[in-house]
Amino acid sequence: MTSEVASAAASGANATARFQNDKSPYEAVKDVPKERADKLARRVLEAVHATIREENVTYAEYNALKAWLIQVGLDGEWPLFLDVWVEHVVEEVATSDRQGNKGTIEGPYYVPNSPVISDEKGVGTVPMREGEGGTPLTWTGTVTAVDGTALSDAKVEIWHADDDGFYSQFAPNLPEWNLRGTNHVGPDGSFEIHTVQPAPYQIPTDGACGALIEAAGWHAWRPAHIHVKVSAPGYQLLTAQLYFPGDAHNDDDIASAVKPELLLAPQQQADGSATVAYSFVLDPEA
């Protein structure tokens, strides 16, 4: 991060670099059968062709699209664009047969290998600055399998924006691992995570994705959310986000990633903090 002010191009560049560091999705489809590549590419193109015919798309509109697509790349915003407007359907298809917890999209701002924060009982506090803004939140829960077994070797990775809506490693002037941590659950599968409630999040508006939002008269908001990845050997990785009741954008998330099962029910405490219980149930690997 070189610039001192958060910018779409800087956070986009970081998200692009982070994704390119992880070549595994690309490696995994290297030997995709020609028939599959042919079919998928053709269907996407046919959907574009149909839109052009049915909407009588003009050369001016075609050239605007070309310029905009180039700008998405220059701003490094392909991860943002895809995760906001496409990933939710991939997630829906990928997880439709699960019996355990509902999940939702990963989004562009996950970083693997966050510091371990838990003690031997699964109690820990995410890294945060002195006087970190936002309501302090104590979150308790357990990780179990669909058959009820407590998963004592599970881990809960958590990451979220700060009270200003910024993610560490994607916005300037934040400690590297701010509000990111890995909790190894206790012997009974339980965890207790101390953090602060994040603010609603506005995707960067000064880049190509913002230009689309502006041109189309959309809004750029996601409701406040806490991201998690819950994993245990022999079980399917659960990627989810948890939301707060009453958020103005729970019903019109720009990323279409809210599900009723993912709403928290925090209890406000007399000292101004909040407590919340939310547990995870994992499906075994197929």
Residues at the interface with ligand MBD (CB under 6 A): 80, 83-84, 105, 107-109, 201, 203, 222, 255, 257
DSSP 229-283: EEE-TTB--EEEEEE-TT-TTSSS-TT----GGGB---EE-TTS-EEEE--EEEP
Which among 169, 44, 21, 30 is positioned nearest to 109, based on CA atoms? 169
Using the minimum distance from each CB to Fe ion, give the nearer residue, 212 or 254: 254
Segment holding 123, helix H or strand E = strand 123-125
CB 241, min distance to Fe ion, A = 7
Query: Can you say how many angstroms the Cα of residue 38 is from the centroid of all Cα atoms in its chain?
Result: 30
How many C-beta atoms surround the C-beta of residue 239 within 10 A? 20
Residues 6+ apart with CB under 8 A from 127: 115, 117, 175, 177, 178, 179, 180, 181
Which among Fe ion, ligand MBD, none contacts residue 203 (Cβ within 5 to 8 A by kind)? ligand MBD
> Which residues are registered as beta bridge partners of 241?
227
| Pairing assessment for the beta strands 201-202 and 136-145 based on DSSP bridges | unpaired
Which among Fe ion, ligand MBD, none contacts residue 255 (Cβ within 5 to 8 A by kind)? ligand MBD
Using the minimum distance from each CB to ligand MBD, give the nearer residue, 107 or 127: 107
Helix locations, the chain, DSSP H:
8-21, 24-28, 34-55, 59-74, 78-85, 87-94, 208-216
Using the minimum distance from each CB to Fe ion, give the nearer residue, 236 or 241: 241
Using the minimum distance from each CB to ligand MBD, give the nearer residue, 109 or 139: 109
Which among Fe ion, ligand MBD, none contacts residue 6 (Cβ within 5 to 8 A by kind)? none
76 binds Fe ion (CB under 5 A): no
CB 108, min distance to Fe ion, A = 8
Q: Amino acid identity, residue 132?
A: E
> Which two structure tokens, joined as six digits, stand for 8?
């779409």
Using the minimum distance from each CB to Fe ion, give the nearer residue, 185 or 203: 203
Which among ligand MBD, Fe ion, none contacts residue 137 (Cβ within 5 to 8 A by kind)? none
Radius of gyration of the chain (CA): 20
Contact flags string 107-136 toward Fe ion, x per CB under 5 A: x-----------------------------
CB 227, min distance to Fe ion, A = 6
CB 209, min distance to ligand MBD, A = 9
Quick one: which segment of 13-21, 93-101, 104-112, 243-251 binds Fe ion (CB under 5 A)?
104-112
Using the minimum distance from each CB to Fe ion, give the nearer residue, 257 or 282: 257
Which among ligand MBD, Fe ion, none contacts residue 274 (Cβ within 5 to 8 A by kind)? none
Residue 198 DSSP one-character state: P
CB 260, min distance to Fe ion, A = 19
- Interface ranges with Fe ion (CB under 5 A): 107
